[in-house]
Structure 1
C-alpha cells in the first residue's frame, strides 16, 4: 500500500532550508501517516456500504498512496533545487532559480489539493444512485423505499398527535433535535416566533409533499431495476455481430465477429460506447438510451 519516499532528497531539502537537523525517516513517516488516515477512512466506508464497492475503494486507496508519494518526492526535489537565503547568505544568491522554485511551489500546492480530492471521492462512494450491477441492488433499493415510507408515516403520525392533543409532549417519532427546532422562539414573526406556531403542526405540508416525491423517486428506481431484470436476455443478432444485454454487469454490449472499421469505431465512441478489453466488447450502461444508441451504430 505504501510507495517509496526519497529520504536522501528529503534530507537535502531540509538542510538547504532549515538550521535544524533532519530526523532520519521523518519524510516517510509523515507520508505513511497520511496514507494510514486514508486507509482508516476506507475501512469505515466498507463497514457501511455494499461489498460491491469495496474493490473500487481499494483502487482509490492505492491511487491516493501512489499520487501522494509522487507529490512528496516532487515537493522535496523542488525544495532541494535552491537553498534558502537564510542558509546560503545573500552573496551571489541565485534569484532566478529561487523564482522558479517559488512558482513550482504554487503548482505543487495545486497538485496536493488534487491528491486530497481522491479522499473526497472515497467519501462519496456508495452515496449516489445504486448501481444496478450491484448483486445487492434490489434489497438496497427496496430498503430506500421502505425507509422513505416509514419516515413519511412518522411525520403524518406526529402531525395527527399534535392536532389531537395540542402538545409535543410524548409525541412519538420526534427527535430531541426536531423538538428543539419546533419550539425555538424568535425564528418567525408569528406569536413567540416558533416554527410550530407558524406551521401549526410539527411537519408542514411542503415537507410531506417532498417526502411523497422522495418515495416516488425511489419507487421509480426500483421499478426500473425490476423492468431491466425482466427484459429478455436473449442477444440480438445483426450482420457481423450481436447485441448482448448483460444484466449482471448492467451493460449493453456490442460484439463484432471481426474488428470494426475506423468509421464504425468512430460511431461507437460518438454514441457513448467504449471498448472493454476484459469483456472483449463495446459497451455502455444498460439503458433505453443505450438501446437507441446501438441501433444508431448498427443501423
Structure 2
C-alpha cells in the first residue's frame, strides 16, 4: 500500500518480510523490525528536502516537474531496495551456511545480480542530481512556458537597460551618484566602489560595452520570442505512411510517429540518427515539433506520406526559419 506524507510525497511499500529474510541469510544478529522502511523513508525525506531547496531557487513553473522527479525517485528506490532484498536472500553467506557443499555457482549468479542492482541504484541516485538541475539551464523551445519565460527575461533586460541609461545620464549631469532615484542606497554604494576599481574604464557608472551587450541580448530574445510564436501559429500537419502515421501533436509540441508494428533494428537506428526518441508513455517515436523535425522526417524513406509528397509540402505555407540552436540561454 502506498502511503502519502503530509507534504503529499508518496512512500512506496518496502518488503519488511524480504528484508528480514535477507538479514537471516547473511547475519547471526536479529533483524530490527521496520529498519528497512525507516532507511527508505530517510532517503525519500532527503530527496524532499533537496526538492524544497530547489523550488526556492527556480520559477514556480518548474515545481511540478520537481515533484514528479521526487515521486519517481521514491518509487524507483523502493523497487531497487525490494529487488536487492530478494537477491540477497537467494543464497546464504558462507559464514551462515558454512563452507561444506556451498553453492558456488548460485553465489556467482547472485553476485552478478547484485552488481546489476547496484548499477540501478546509482541510476536512481542520479535522479537527485536531476532535481538539483531542474530549472537551472537555458529555456528550451519545447518548454510549454518558453515564451512566457522569455518575455519575463526580456522585461528584466529592458528594465536594466533603462536603469543604466538613467544612471549614466544622472552622473553626466551631476557628476555624482548621490540622490539618483534609479538606484537604492545600497546599489549606489556598490557602484561607487566598482567605479574606483582599476579595471573600471571611462568616467561613467555603466560602461558602453555593458549597454551594447545588454541591447544585443534584448534584440536576440525578441527575435526568439517572435520565432517561437510563429511556430505556435503555424499549425503543423501530420500524415499517413505505409504501416503507420505521423501526428503533429501541437499540445505536446511533438512530431510523433506511430507504427502498426515495431520498426526493424535498422529503421530504429535511422530514427535515432534523425533525432527521434522512443517514448513508451505514448507509444511513439517523437521529437520536438518544428520545421527541422518536418525536414528530418522527409529524409526517412519508410515514413514518407502515402501521397509520395515531402512532409514539408503538406504543411501550411509559412516563413521558414533556418536551423539554429533550440535552447536559449
TM range (shorter): 0.5 to 0.7
The separation in 2 between residues aligned to 1:261 and 1:237, in whole angstroms, is: 18
1:192-236 C-alpha deviation (Å, 9 max, x unpaired): xx54664353323333233223323322321121110121x2525
Pair 1:166–1:229, CA change in 2 (3 A): same
Q: Tell me, yes or no, if structure 1 residue 199 matches structure 2 residue 208.
A: no
1:225-264 → structure 2 map (5 Å cutoff): 225-231=228-234, 233=235, 235-237=237-239, 240=242, 243-255=246-258, 258-259=260-261, 262=264
The separation in 1 between residues aligned to 2:70 and 2:44, in whole angstroms, is: 8
The separation in 2 between residues aligned to 1:40 and 1:271, in whole angstroms, is: 39
Identify the residue that residue 274 of structure 1 maps to in structure 2: 277
Any conservation in 2 of the 1:6–1:73 contact (CA below 8 Å)?
yes
TM-score normalized with structure 1 length: 0.65
3-state SS of the aligned residue for 2:60?
A: coil
Q: CA deviation at 1:183?
A: 0.9
Any conservation in 1 of the 2:139–2:150 contact (CA below 8 Å)?
no
Any conservation in 2 of the 1:148–1:211 contact (CA below 8 Å)?
yes
Identify the residue that residue 139 of structure 1 maps to in structure 2: 148
1:96-135 → structure 2 map (5 Å cutoff): 115-127=124-136, 128-132=138-142, 134=144
The separation in 2 between residues aligned to 1:215 and 1:65, in whole angstroms, is: 42
Any conservation in 1 of the 2:142–2:288 contact (CA below 8 Å)?
no
Q: Tell me, yes or no, if structure 1 residue 58 matches structure 2 residue 67.
A: yes
Q: Which runs of 5+ in 2 are unaligned?
A: 1-9, 24-29, 94-115, 305-309, 311-329
3-state SS of the aligned residue for 1:183?
A: helix
Q: Which runs of 5+ in 1 are unaligned?
A: 15-20, 84-106, 185-193
Instruction: Identify, as 1 or 2, the structure richer in helix.
Output: 1
The separation in 1 between residues aligned to 2:121 and 2:185, in whole angstroms, is: 41
The separation in 1 between residues aligned to 2:248 and 2:293, in whole angstroms, is: 10
Any conservation in 2 of the 1:235–1:242 contact (CA below 8 Å)?
no
Q: CA deviation at 1:69?
A: 4.9
Any conservation in 1 of the 2:245–2:258 contact (CA below 8 Å)?
yes
Any conservation in 1 of the 2:178–2:188 contact (CA below 8 Å)?
no
Tell me which of 209, 212, 229 is aligned to 2:212. Answer: 209
The separation in 1 between residues aligned to 2:232 and 2:124, in whole angstroms, is: 38
3-state SS of the aligned residue for 1:211?
A: helix
Q: Tell me, yes or no, if structure 1 residue 161 matches structure 2 residue 158.
A: no
Identify the residue that residue 183 of structure 1 maps to in structure 2: 193
The separation in 2 between residues aligned to 1:237 and 1:177, in whole angstroms, is: 58
The separation in 2 between residues aligned to 1:7 and 1:281, in whole angstroms, is: 38
Any conservation in 2 of the 1:68–1:112 contact (CA below 8 Å)?
yes
Q: Tell me, yes or no, if structure 1 residue 224 matches structure 2 residue 227.
A: yes
The separation in 2 between residues aligned to 1:239 and 1:9, in whole angstroms, is: 50
Q: Which moved more, 1:170-179 or 1:221-230?
A: 170-179
Any conservation in 1 of the 2:80–2:121 contact (CA below 8 Å)?
yes
Identify the residue that residue 32 of structure 1 maps to in structure 2: 41
- Aligned residue pair count: 279
1:116-156 C-alpha deviation (Å, 9 max, x unpaired): 5422311322333145452x443333222112211222222
Any conservation in 1 of the 2:141–2:228 contact (CA below 8 Å)?
no
Identify the residue that residue 96 of structure 1 maps to in structure 2: none
Q: Tell me, yes or no, if structure 1 residue 49 matches structure 2 residue 50.
A: no
